[in-house]
Amino acid sequence: MRQDKYRQPQYQKNKGTVILWVLVALFAIVLGTLLWQIFKPTEVATTNSTSATTTLSSTTATSATLTTSSRAKEPTSSTSSSSTLDSTTTSSSTTTTTTTNSVSDENRQVDTTKLTTPQLQAWIAAIMEHRLQQGTGLRPDGSNPWNYNKVMRDGLAYVEITQTADGGARQALITTFRVNAAGELEEANPNDGTYQVVAQYFMEVG
């Protein structure tokens, strides 16, 4: 009976120790779980941050590459545009010259040996205007416009362009045109008085 009384406290002591260790183990498990929950999002966030940084760096590098490529192509584009502009300008100039010097089929059929006075004067006036636009012709004095005087000599029509000078005292000769027997328009050379063909068809300006 005495032995049972002696062993009972010893058993209760061992039982209390076991319970204590069980509580410690549970506490350790709970603490470990809490710590895992706390540190796990931080790791994910760090991973996401690293991934975002890598993506941003890749995007920046790609953007820089595209910008460099675009800048490298700019001189070529400028050169191409310049070449196109020069080509267009040349084409436009050629078209203008062709249009100015072209003669319609209708005018080619005109018998220039039988021109009326207004037709002959209009033809010569067109030539003088064309020269003025090209910078090679004379410009009439605004207060003294040119006069177109048609005369017949040796069966040919002559047109003398004159301008009033010396306050109306005389008519200064500017130049002289004539239509030869072949219907070609000729102009007098002021140096030797010979005539040179300047147009073959009606309203051709040279």
Whether residue 111 is found in the same domain as residue 81: no
Q: Which of 102, 119, 134 is the last residue of a domain?
A: 102
- Co-location of 167 and 147 in the same domain: yes
Q: State whether 22 and 55 are in the same domain.
A: yes
**Domain endpoint, select from 45, 76, 102:** 102
Burial 36-58 (b: 16+ CB within 10 A, else e): eeeeeeeeeeeeeeeeeeeeeee
Confidence of residue 23 (pLDDT cuts 50, 70, 90): confident
pLDDT of residue 160: 96
The Cα 49–Cα 45 span in angstroms is 6
- The pLDDT, as a whole number, for residue 13 is 62
Where is average pLDDT lowest: 16-25, 36-45, 146-155?
36-45
Does some domain include residue 206?
no
Task: With respect to residue 155, please indicate whether it lies within any of the assigned structural domains.
Answer: yes
Whether 142 and 92 map to the same domain: the answer is: no
Residue 204 placed within a domain = no
How does pLDDT run across 74-83, given as a tens digit for each residue?
444 444 434 4
Question: Is 149 within 8 Å of 159 (Cβ atoms)?
Answer: yes
Residue 48 covered by a domain: yes
Q: What pLDDT score does 47 carry?
A: 44
What confidence tens digit (pLDDT) does each residue in 149-206 have? 999 999 999 999 998 887 777 888 999 999 999 999 999 999 999 999 999 999 999 7
Residue 34 belongs to some domain of the structure = yes
Decide which of 49, 84, 102 is a domain's last residue: 102
Of 133 and 53, more confident: 133
Q: Residues 84, 113: one domain?
A: no
pTM: 0.50
Considering the domain boundaries, does residue 205 fall inside one?
Answer: no
**DSSP code, position 148:** E
What gap in Å lies between CA 121 and CA 196, rounded to an integer? Answer: 18
Pick the more confident residue, 195 or 136. 195
Instruction: Check the CA dihedral 82-86-87-88 and report its sign.
Output: positive
Which alpha helices (H) appear in 102-185, and where do they start and end? 105-108, 117-134
- Identify the CA nearest to 119 among candidates 130, 131, 110: 110
Q: Which of these ranges, 49-58, 90-99, 112-121, has the smallest mean pLDDT? A: 90-99
For residues 31 and 47, membership in a common domain is answered with yes
Query: Hey, how many other C-beta atoms are within 10 angstroms of the C-beta on 115?
Result: 19
**Residues 95, 110 within the same domain:** no
Same domain for 137 and 48?
A: no
Residue 14's region, left for phi above 0, alpha for psi from -120 to 50, else beta, is alpha
Nearest Cα neighbor of 176 from 152, 198, 193, 159 is: 159
Phi, then psi, of 24 in degrees rounded to 5:
-65, -40
Residues paired with residue 165 on neighbouring β-strands, in sequence order: 170
pLDDT reported for residue 8 = 56
Q: Is the pLDDT of residue 56 over 60?
A: no
- Report the domain count for the chain: 2
Which range is least confidently modeled, 31-40, 127-136, 151-160? 31-40
What local confidence, expressed as pLDDT, does residue 164 receive?
84
Are residues 130 and 152 located together in one domain of the fold? yes
DSSP 101-118: H---HHHHTS-GGG--HH
Give the pLDDT band (50/70/90) at residue 70.
very low
Q: Residue 31: which domain range?
A: 1-102
